[in-house]
């Protein structure tokens, strides 16, 4: 380990120690299962970070050929691959609809056709889709229960509003937007993976995104498809050194979901790498300073989406941070340490299991805990193989989305964490048995999670 690795590792450990000390002095309950789970989660996170740091510093400081060239497909081959991806996506959507309908029949018996019960099957009224559709119809309001819609960001509803003019129905428009974005995200994921991988492995990245256990959320009127698309576009354009366009996509991601602001981290890593390589190549201080200033300005663009959302909060309610007040008062939601989340999740899981509340146990706490540790183990195994910019993004994303004090949707949040699919593809590279085993595991858990969702368990 060189000096730069030691410095970054020491800073990383210092931050972790401070966080752990603050947590230990404030924790309310010391139930052994929860504490063990918390320490295990923290340990895996730290281990992953420490394994990734040498790769990160080496990535930034080592001058290599620019990735902007990528691994090029012939025009005909690219066209065929895109058609293959689109066909696979369409077929998978049809199979998903039919499977959901079969599960609904098993639950309630046959009562009507698949289209007449479509909304009931997908529980649109019980998830955030209703809020997004409400914003699309009425924008943000200040009275009634709809005033809480301000906690949801506006880009997805705005696009639904535009598509509704052609579709004639907000619900239909929501499904159209979600599925078109999912299709575009699949193609963009392939193109991003193709910068580093051969064709078959890039296709496996797409596969792992869309067989993830909670990937069915890409089908319904939720922000997952749009956010994934914009995140992938941001990294693709940045990797191609089209900095401003990449940062604009990241800003739009931040106007879709709050974690979009975290895309500044991988963009900063890629920019630092480009800056170091350029300085080594030219050795000119003036050019370095100009590029540094332009890079900082581009990074500032990433914040525009979040700033626009804060401005909307101010215009609607008079308080730029009204969304955080509603989250705390209405949902008991605030940001805290991710390793405390697994503590209370484990305590709730044990309590609901003992009380015989198996619906909540199987729909909420068990999936949350399982996916948190699944993704940590996946990223730990790929820490030295994955693009360090993607790993840096995953670490901050993990801490951010697992940190809330009332976490209900961990599987859905990780469906859009695209580094997971890249990690899965790398871990199973050139090993057909591993690829088949992991794919089978994803598909089986997808079926189980879809089943509890269709059966009305608390899946959000």
Beta-carbon contacts of residue 35 (< 8 Å; ≥ 6 apart): 343
Q: Which residues of 259-281 are buried (b: 16+ CB within 10 A; e: fewer)?
A: bbbbbbbbbbbbbbbbebbbbee
d(CA 242, CA 270): 11
User: Could you read off the pLDDT of 314-348 as tens digits, one per residue?
Assistant: 999 999 999 999 999 988 889 999 999 999 999 99
d(CA 403, CA 19): 12
User: Could you read off the pLDDT of 183-233 as tens digits, one per residue?
Assistant: 999 999 999 999 999 999 999 999 999 999 999 999 999 999 999 999 999
DSSP letter string over 386-426? S-HHHHHHHHHHHHHHH-BTT---HHHHHHT-THHHHHHHH
Helix ranges (H only) for 27-74 are 32-61
Of these ranges, 101-115, 275-289, 404-418, the one predicted with the greatest mean pLDDT is 404-418
d(CA 334, CA 337): 10
Rg of the chain, C-alpha, whole Å:
22
What does the mean pLDDT of the chain come to? 94
d(CA 390, CA 52): 10
Which of 410, 409, 405, 413 is CA-nearest to residue 333? Answer: 405
State the residue for tokens 């005033």.
147
Token pair recorded at residue 179: 């599925």
Total H helices, total E strands in the chain = 21, 0
d(CA 343, CA 213): 23
User: Could you read off the pLDDT of 46-98 as tens digits, one per residue?
Assistant: 999 999 999 999 999 886 545 555 666 778 889 999 999 999 999 999 999 99
d(CA 383, CA 423): 8
Question: Domain limits of the chain?
Answer: 1-62+336-428
| Residue 404: strand pairing partners | 335
Token pair recorded at residue 162: 């535009």
| Residues 150, 317 contacting (CB under 8 angstroms) | yes
Flag the least confident range among 121-135, 145-159, 174-188, 274-288.
274-288
SS3 335: strand
Token pair recorded at residue 16: 């972790």
pLDDT of residue 114: 62
């Amino acid at each position: 380990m060189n000096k730069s690795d030691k410095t970054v590792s020491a800073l990383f450990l210092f931050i972790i120690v401070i966080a752990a000390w603050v947590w230990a002095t404030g924790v309310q309950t010391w139930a052994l299962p929860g504490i063990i789970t918390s320490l295990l989660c923290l340990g895996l996170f730290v281990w992953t970070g420490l394994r990734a740091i040498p790769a990160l510093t080496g990535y930034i400081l080592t001058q290599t050929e620019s990735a902007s060239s990528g691994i090029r497909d012939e025009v005909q081959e690219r066209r065929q691959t895109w058609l293959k991806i689109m066909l696979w996506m369409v077929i998978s959507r049809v199979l998903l609809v039919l499977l959901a309908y079969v599960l609904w029949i098993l639950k309630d018996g046959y009562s009507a056709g698949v289209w007449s019960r479509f909304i009931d099957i997908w529980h649109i009224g019980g998830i955030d889709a209703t809020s997004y559709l409400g914003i699309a119809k009425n924008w943000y309001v200040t009275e009634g229960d709809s005033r809480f819609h301000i906690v949801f960001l506006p880009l997805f509803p705005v696009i639904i509003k535009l598509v509704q003019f052609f579709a004639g129905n907000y619900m239909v428009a929501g499904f159209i937007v979600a599925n078109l974005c999912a299709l575009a995200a699949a193609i963009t994921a392939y193109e991003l993976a193709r910068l580093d991988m051969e064709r078959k492995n890039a296709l496996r990245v797409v596969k792992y995104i869309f067989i993830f256990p909670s990937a069915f959320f890409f089908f319904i009127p939720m922000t997952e498809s749009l956010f994934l698309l914009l995140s992938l576009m941001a990294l693709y354009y940045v990797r191609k050194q089209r900095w401003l366009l990449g940062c604009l996509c990241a800003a739009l991601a931040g106007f879709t979901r709050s974690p979009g602001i975290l895309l500044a981290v991988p963009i900063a890593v890629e920019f630092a790498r480009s800056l170091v390589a350029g300085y080594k190549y030219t050795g000119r201080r003036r050019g370095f300073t100009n590029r540094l200033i332009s890079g900082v300005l581009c990074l500032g663009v990433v914040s525009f989406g979040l700033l626009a959302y804060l401005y909307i909060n101010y215009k609607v309610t008079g308080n730029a941070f009204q969304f955080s007040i509603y989250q705390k008062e209405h949902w008991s939601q605030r940001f805290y340490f991710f390793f405390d989340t697994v503590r209370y999740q484990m305590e709730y899981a044990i309590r609901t299991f003992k009380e015989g509340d198996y619906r909540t146990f199987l729909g909420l706490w068990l999936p949350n805990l399982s996916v948190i540790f699944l993704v940590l183990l996946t990223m730990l195994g790929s820490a030295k193989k994955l693009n360090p910019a993607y790993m840096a993004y995953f670490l901050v994303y993990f801490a951010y989305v697992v940190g809330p004090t009332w976490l209900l949707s961990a599987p859905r949040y990780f469906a859009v964490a695209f580094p997971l699919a890249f990690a899965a593809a790398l871990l199973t590279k050139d090993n057909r048995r591993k690829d088949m085993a992991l794919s089978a595991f994803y598909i089986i858990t997808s079926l189980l999670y879809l089943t509890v969702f269709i059966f009305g368990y608390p899946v959000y």
